[in-house]
A and B are shown apart, each in its own frame.
Chain A
Amino acid sequence: MAERGIEIVSADHAPELRTPWHERALPYLLLAPAVLVLLLLTIYPLIYAVTVSLQTRAGAWTLANFTRLFADRFFLTALLQTLIYTLAALIAEFLLGLGLALLLDSQIRARNLFRSLLLIPMMLPPVVVAVIWRLIYNPNFGAINGTLKSWGLNTDKLTWLASPRMALPSVILVDIWQWTPFMFLILLAGLQAIPQEPYEAALIDGSSPWQTFRHVTLPLLKPAILIALLLRTMDLLRIFDQVFILTQGGPGFATETVSLYIYKTAFRFFDFGYAAAMSFVLLVLINFISVGYIRLLKRQEKV
């Protein structure tokens, strides 16, 4: 192994690999279309959005859009609710996903059937899921209240999406239903990538199942866990479609999220400057959290 390593390093510095400039330029040339598309579709709109957020409608430079954020109780409430939503859904999806992954990583019967079935919610378009759940939650015709009524329970107070207290948990539940499979999928892939040897070693050393899980499975699964959490966190912080269909942010302001408020500000109130400022804040927030995850991931690799 070490010998090969040395050989490769020396090959890297070998004079015959010093290529002329045009040959070195070729990879960049081949990359250029992709970079160009990225610049046009991502970097340019980002710069444009920042510009818009720093301007008044008339085009003068201003910080008013950003100072307004801190006094806007709608924005602050939406931000708080988005964080609650993200945290609650993330924890529930992670624990459920991990449990399912562990269960279906072991040798049980009809394992492949269960695995496929579990992925169905994730494959449905979020809009379809939201419409289905809107019907399920319907206090008068819906499946939940219908079932409870058939058991002789009084469901008049169970209005789900129409209740200021139950609306947010109800919306979060839909997210959990749909996206737990995603956690499950990544964690299962992570589990299956773990080699058998450390388990055998643990067994020989006489570790208990809990010790094995805590000291073998979890550390080796950490990269998969971090990636799953990173992707879900980014998605959750931007949550829009389910809320848009299920409640439109209501009742009152109980389920408004930042993305929904940005959408309304931009496309209903037509205040692009303020919407851009909020989007920028959301972007910075998502970036901070992502960088945190990525640092953890890198630290893990170095160990």
Chain B
Amino acid sequence: MSILSLNHHADLEVRSSAFRRAFSRRTTRLKAELRTLHLHRDGLVITTALFAAALWLAVFSAACGRRSGQTELTIAVNSGVEGDGLKAAAKDYQAERGVKVTIAEFPYANLFEKELVDAVNRTGAYDLILLDDPWFPRFTSEEQHLADLEPLYQSRGSPGPDEDFVKTSLALCRHPYGTGKLYALPYVGNSQLFFYRKDLFEKYGLRPPAQWDDVLTAARTITEKEKIHGYTMRGAQGNPVASDFLPLFWAFGAEMFDAAGRPTVNSPEGVAALKFMLELGKYSPPGYVSFNADEVAAHLLQGTAAQTINWPAWISAFSDPAKSKVLGKVEFTTMPGQKRPGQAEIGNWLLAIPQAARNQEASFDFLLWATSAEQMRQSALRGNPPTRVSVFNDPEMRAKYPAFPVQLKSLETSRPRPRTPLWNEIENAFGIFLSKANSGELTPEAAMNQANEELSRILARGH
């Protein structure tokens, strides 16, 4: 053992010394080679410096040269169906108006960060940004990072946005909500829908899901008689479970915050709504606590669950024979009510101009063009629900998209998530405790009490 390690040690020394010698020899040789190239030591230094300078110059001119010459627009979008739609529209705009449009595409998780950094630092990198509506308060509520659209309308001799926009969608674009200044226009008009198996409801003479009580009765009946799951939902921690819970929570008459902005999720109505959710959980597939939209949709498409809440993006799959085992059996309707009329959660994509955008007139021209009735029709054909009543009511579109009347009704009666710049953090914390209740870790009362405490803490801290 000791001999071995001694050996090892000596060996290492020999190796490192040999390496040093070899390196020194190689250096000498390299230097000689450089000399033959007439690059003696000063030359080497000068060349390095020149090279560095050239590199800087290239980077610098690339950074500055972008804005020279003709009008050019850069739009930040998400990678997904909404961003793809806008990308296609940008191509049309470029062909039609001769303005070069560059699309900067980011995954959903990074888009918000990119847009906010640009807006807060006033870098002016983007002329237009596509925003998910819950992000909007972050851009407007403390400091104005978005361009006020009213002066831009006025400079065109127009009083403001036309009456064709769905009111709930346009209300999202104002700060304060619904009444304040206009900082964006709605581009994609999503709101939740209620999906259910019409054939099974008819088979067992069940009342269509107008009330949450009807939903629970149907869930119980179908689970018992059909041996499939009467209900399914997105139970995954964070945004999914919170999104699926809010319509129920609102219908039970609960509110997340009181008029003074204090959290009230542990109100008797709130706890009752959570208990009701756990009741529905009994008729949902095992493990629904980890489900996201794809698992929920898969259960419905496979015919193993009978009712759920989901977004309009999933509608088309139900008429696709390759994906759906329940062709023509699923009906889409508005959110059930209970103590209050049902309200879906709204989820719109808004198009806005950052305050630091360099050519606001040109940006505004694109904004008006992209949200015009004609373009929104194109956008709908590319798979994005419109935000204009006229497009929803267009007979040709209705023939192509039979769910449009229901989508419009759902959108018109929908409701935004609480409008606070802290929404992402609040939704995450709320979702964690909802998930804890659904997985049986906490009782509904304890979950709501702890959620309330956590929300108070987040609000007290601010950001």
In the complex, per-residue mask of B421-451: 1 if CB is within 8 Å of any chain A CB, else 0:
0101100100011011011111000000000
Tell me the minimal C-beta distance from A145 to chain B in angstroms. 8
Query: Which of B1, B17, B31, B298 is A198 in contact with, Cβ under 8 Å?
Result: B1
Shortest Cβ distance from A246 into B: residue: B290
Smallest distance from the beta carbon of B461 to chain A beta carbons, Å? Answer: 8
Residue contact B435 to A250, C-beta cutoff 8 Å: yes
- What class of interface size applies to chain A in its complex with B? 35 or more
- On whether the beta carbons of A267 and B17 are closer than 8 Å, the reply is no
Q: Contacts A23-B27, A252-B441; is A159 near B290 (CB within 8 Å)?
A: yes
Q: Tell whether, in the assembled complex, residue B237 and residue A26 are in contact, meaning their CB atoms are under 8 Å apart.
A: no
Do residues B31 and A267 form an inter-chain contact, with CB atoms below 8 A?
Answer: no
Indicate which residue in A12, A160, A248 contacts B236 across the interface (CB closer than 8 Å): A248
Question: Interface on A for B, CB 8 Å cutoff?
Answer: 1-2, 4-5, 8-9, 11-12, 17, 19, 22-23, 26-27, 29, 57, 68, 74, 138-141, 155-164, 195, 197-198, 219, 247-254, 264, 266-271, 303
12 contacts between A and B (CB under 8 A): A8-B14, A12-B20, A26-B27, A27-B27, A140-B304, A162-B289, A164-B436, A164-B439, A247-B290, A252-B442, A268-B425, A271-B463
Give min CB distance, B411 to chain A, whole Å. Answer: 26
B70 beta carbon closer than 8 Å to chain A: no
A22 touches B41 (CB 8 A): yes
Closest chain A residue to B431 by CB distance?
A250
Q: Could you tell me if A4 and B428 are in contact, using CB atoms closer than 8 angstroms?
A: no
| CA gap between A287 and B225 in the complex, in Å | 60
Complexed CA–CA distance, A131 and B48 (Å):
48
- How far, in whole Å, are A74 and B290 apart by their CA atoms in the complex? 19
Chain B residues near A141 (CB-CB < 8 A): 298
Binding site for A on B (CB under 8 A): 1, 4-5, 10, 13-14, 17-18, 20-21, 23-24, 27-28, 30-31, 41, 44, 48, 109-110, 112-113, 116, 138, 235-238, 285-291, 295, 298-299, 304, 422, 424-425, 428, 432-433, 435-436, 438-442, 461, 463
Main secondary structure of the interface of B (DSSP, over half): helix
**B30: A residues at CB distance < 8 A:** 26
Measured in the bound complex, the distance between the Cα atoms of B48 and A158 in whole Å is: 65
Tell me which of A27, A157, A252, A303 has the highest count of chain B C-beta atoms within 10 A of its own C-beta: A252
Least CB distance from B100 to A in Å reads 30
When the two chains form their complex, are residues A252 and B23 in contact, meaning their CB atoms are under 8 A apart?
A: no
Complex: A57 Cα to B41 Cα, angstroms: 49
Q: Is the CB of A162 within 8 A of B286?
A: yes
Closest chain B CB from A34 CB (angstroms) = 14
Q: State the CA gap A140–B1 with chains docked (Å).
A: 58
**B-side contacts of A159, CB under 8 Å:** 286-287, 289-290
Q: Is the CB of A252 within 8 A of B439?
A: yes
A57 and B138 alpha carbons, distance in the complex (Å): 14
| A269 and B237 contacting across the interface, CB-CB below 8 Å | no
A241 smallest CB distance to B (angstroms):
13
Contact A139 B285 (CB under 8 A): yes
Contact A270-B116, Cβ < 8 Å, known A26-B30, A248-B236, A252-B237 = yes
Sorted from nearest, which 6 A-B pairs have the closest CB atoms? A250-B237, A139-B287, A252-B436, A159-B287, A162-B287, A251-B439
B1 CB to closest chain A CB (Å) equals 7
CA distance A253 to B422 in the complex (A): 20
| A161 and B4 contact, CB distance less than 8 A | no
Chain A nearest Cβ from B142, distance in angstroms: 10
Q: Is A198's CB under 8 angstroms from B4's CB? A: yes
A46 to B236, CA, bound (A): 34
